[in-house]
Amino acid sequence: MPSAPLLDVIVFDIDDTLYSTTAFAIDARRNAIQAMITHGLDVPEDEAIRELTEVVAEFTSNYDEHLDRLLDRLGPSRWGGRNPAVLIAAGVVAYHQTKERQLRPLPDAVVLLRSLHQAHVRVGVLSAGLRVKQAEKLVRLGVLPWIDPGAIFFSDQLGVSKPNPKIYAKTCDALKVPPSRVLYVGDRPATDVTPARAAGLKTVHYRGAHGRYSDTPATPPADHEVELLTDLKPILRTVYGLPV
Question: Above 90 in pLDDT, residue 155?
Answer: yes
Query: Which pLDDT band, with edges at 50, 70 and 90, does 215 fall under?
Result: confident
**Which residues on adjacent β-strands are paired with residue 124?**
11
Instruction: Return the pLDDT at 217.
Output: 87
**DSSP category for residue 191:** I
Query: 25 to each of 52, 99, 102, 140, how far by Cα in Å?
Result: 11, 10, 10, 15
Instruction: Return the pLDDT at 219.
Output: 87
9-19+104-238 CATH fold? Rossmann fold (3.40.50)
For the chain, helix, strand, coil in percent to 5 are 50, 10, 35
Domain spans in the chain, listed from the N-terminal domain onward? 9-19+104-238, 23-102
In tens, the pLDDT along 53-72 reads: 999 999 998 898 999 999 99
Beta strands in 96-212 (DSSP E): 122-127, 152-154, 182-186, 202-206
What is d(CA 124, CA 4) in angstroms, rounded to the nearest whole number? 21
Instruction: State the pTM of this model.
Output: 0.92
Question: Above 80 in pLDDT, residue 1?
Answer: no
Question: Above 90 in pLDDT, residue 2?
Answer: no
Q: Which amino acid is at 181?
A: R
Instruction: Return the pLDDT at 190.
Output: 95
Burial string for 153-183 (b: 16+ CB within 10 Å, else e) reads: bbbeebebebbbbbbbbbbbeebebebebbb
Instruction: Return the pLDDT at 45.
Output: 98
Query: Which pLDDT band, with edges at 50, 70 and 90, does 203 fall under?
Result: very high
Strand order across the beta sheet in which 224-226 lies: 152-154, 122-127, 9-12, 182-186, 202-206, 224-226
Beta strands in the chain (DSSP E): 9-12, 122-127, 152-154, 182-186, 202-206, 224-226
Mean pLDDT of the chain: 96
Reference 157, options 187, 186, 128; nearest CA is: 128
23-102 CATH fold? DNA polymerase; domain 1 (1.10.150)
